[in-house]
């Protein structure tokens, strides 16, 4: 798309979104699962402590995600996103030096805080600028997660081999450098949309927030997003450790994660494009069903081939699942309500991220293995697939529209 007076160049804006998701999702959240084995061994952490570290990041996200939306509405999305990225960079820098568990908790919380001020505002920014290609542009943004996973899967084992016990610290430091670079790029190239002024006699969008919070369609989408939050973070944190615990090499696990990331780069945009043409609900059901299948495979068998299939199917579907549930959230409301609706459903997602690692860590400690924990995620995902069947039946009209056409 060529630039117009109304909209910036699509490629530039999508690249900004892609890099943001790379830093705040792939590096700040998913990389922890790859860094965890050497980090846990070096610091002597239990699996329950490791799960709490993942949980505290989700808690920081949950507590501040609505504040991030308010900040974006008041000060603009671009400065809010940059503030979030700088916060994440500070968290990465601290992790390169910290060893005390309480300090680690604070730094992991800072990663969640920064993510709250950067990820949701960026998704809302793209959805507002390009509503007719919402699935595609959000899918392109999620490909940053795949690129980040590819980098993490290759980089962390390399740093461990080069720097030994300090390799995990060097990895956090490199993530911090990338976060600062992305913040600079967004400062220079990103563009805020014009503010959506209310027409004469209309109330401000924030005055109508309870119409969104109580709408059954928005709540259904939010519940599915919460289920995704519970399950994907457990996979990201513990699947590598599960594989290593079953006797497979850490380097092989890293290679499988890199493969998953490589496939995810294309999967998000493809699923998004498919949903723009086939229907959001149809594509969402298919992608979530594939994720459920992938999560069930290691429960049946723990061979190298089964773990390979797990990461293969996840690579084909997980980024599509993210892109489609995020696009579905923005589909339910008129453009003026997108920041409010997306912040609301993100609270469910962040709550799921908060619950997932803590429950999984406890189940791992209680059962002495990983199968019970991943069995829990499989059952929760089945409930999510059922709810997507309801989303498939949603009418095309928005659930919360202009003040004179509210459902």
Over residues 391-402, the pLDDT tens digits come to: 998 887 887 776
Q: Which of 181, 209, 238 shows the shortest CA–CA distance to 365?
A: 238
3-state secondary structure the chain: CCCCCCCCCHHHHHHHHHHHHHHHHHHHHHHHHHHHHHHHHHHCCCHHHHHHHHHHHHHHHHHHHHHHHHHHHHHCHHHHHHHHHHHHHHHHHHHCCCCCHHHHHHHHHHHHHHHHCCHHHHHHHHHHHCHHHHHHHHHHHHHHHHHHHHHHHHHHHHHHHHHHHHHHHHHHHHHHHHHHHHHHHHHHHCCCCCCCCCCCCCCCHHHHHHHHHCCHHHHHHHHHHHHHHHHHHHHHHHHHHHHHHCCCCHHHHHHHHHHHHHHHHHHHHHHHHHHHHHCHHHHHHHHHHHHHHHHHHHHHCCCHHHHHHHHHHHHHHHHHHHHHHHHHHHHCECHHHHHHHHHHHHHHHHHHHHHHHHHHHHHHHHHCCCHHHHHHHHHHHHHHHHHHHHHCCCCCCCCECCCCCCC
User: Which tens digit of pLDDT belongs to each residue from 277-296?
Assistant: 888 889 999 999 999 999 99
Mean pLDDT of 79-93: 96
Residue 383 and residue 4: Cα distance in Å, rounded? 44
Which pLDDT score is estimated for 199? 42
> What mean pLDDT comes out for the span 365-384?
91
pLDDT at 195: 64
The predicted structure's pLDDT at residue 216: 92
Q: Pick from 128, 197, 132, 203: which is nearest to 404 by CA? A: 203
**Mean pLDDT, all residues of the chain:** 86
Length of the chain: 407
132 pLDDT above the threshold of 90: no
Distances (CA, A) of 407 to 142, 153, 212, 327, 329: 31, 46, 10, 20, 16
pLDDT at position 75 is 81
Residue 73 clears pLDDT 80, i.e. is over it: no
**Looking at residue 96, what is its pLDDT?**
93
Q: What pTM was estimated for this model as a whole?
A: 0.80
pLDDT on residue 3 = 47
Using 50, 70 and 90 to split pLDDT, how confident is the model at 378? very high
Question: How many angstroms separate the Cα of 246 from the Cα of each of 48, 153, 190, 375?
Answer: 19, 19, 45, 16
Q: What is the per-residue pLDDT across 143-176, written as a single tens digit (0 to 9) for each?
A: 888 788 778 888 988 998 898 888 999 999 999 9
Whether 186 shows a pLDDT value over 60: the answer reads: yes
At 13-34, the pLDDT tens digits run: 999 999 999 999 889 987 888 8
- Which pLDDT does position 44 carry in this prediction? 85
Q: Among 211-225, 361-375, 379-393, whose mean pLDDT is lowest? A: 361-375
């Amino acid at each position: 798309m060529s630039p117009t007076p109304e909209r910036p160049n699509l490629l530039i804006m999508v690249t900004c979104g892609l890099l943001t998701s790379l830093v705040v999702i792939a590096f700040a959240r998913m990389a922890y699962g790859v860094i965890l084995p050497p980090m846990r061994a070096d610091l002597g952490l239990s699996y329950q402590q490791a799960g709490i570290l993942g949980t505290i990041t989700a808690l920081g996200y949950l507590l501040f995600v609505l504040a991030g939306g308010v900040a974006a509405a008041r000060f603009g999305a671009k400065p809010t996103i940059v503030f979030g990225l700088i916060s994440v960079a500070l968290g990465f820098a601290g992790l390169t030096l910290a060893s005390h568990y309480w300090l680690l908790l604070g730094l992991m919380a800072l990663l969640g805080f920064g993510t709250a001020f950067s990820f949701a505002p960026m998704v809302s920014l793209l959805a507002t600028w390009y509503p007719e290609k919402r699935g595609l542009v959000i899918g392109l943004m999620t490909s940053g997660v795949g690129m980040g996973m590819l980098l993490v899967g290759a980089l962390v084992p390399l740093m461990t081999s080069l720097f030994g016990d300090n390799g995990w610290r060097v990895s956090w430091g490199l993530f911090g450098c990338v976060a600062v670079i992305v913040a600079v790029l967004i400062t220079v190239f990103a563009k805020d949309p014009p503010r959506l002024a209310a027409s004469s006699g209309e109330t401000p969008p924030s005055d109508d927030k309870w119409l969104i919070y109580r709408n059954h369609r928005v709540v259904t989408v939010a519940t599915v997003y919460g289920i995704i939050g519970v399950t994907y973070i457990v996979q990201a944190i513990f699947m590598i450790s599960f594989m290593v615990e079953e006797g497979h090499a850490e380097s092989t696990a890293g290679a499988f994660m890199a493969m998953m990331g490589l496939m995810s780069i294309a999967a998000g945009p493809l699923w998004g494009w498919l949903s723009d043409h086939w229907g959001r609900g149809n594509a969402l059901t298919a992608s979530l069903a594939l994720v459920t299948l992938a999560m069930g495979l290691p429960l049946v068998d723990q061979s190298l081939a089964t773990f390979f299939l797990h990461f293969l199917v996840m690579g084909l579907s997980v980024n599509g699942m993210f892109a489609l549930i995020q696009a579905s959230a923005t589909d339910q409301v008129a453009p003026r309500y997108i920041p409010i609706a997306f912040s609301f459903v993100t609270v469910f997602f962040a709550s799921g991220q908060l619950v997932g690692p803590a429950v999984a860590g406890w189940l791992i400690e209680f059962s002495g293995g990983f199968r019970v924990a991943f069995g829990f995620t499989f059952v929760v995902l089945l409930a999510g697939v059922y709810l997507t069947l309801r989303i498939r039946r949603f009418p095309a009209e928005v659930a919360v529209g202009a003040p004179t056409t509210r459902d």
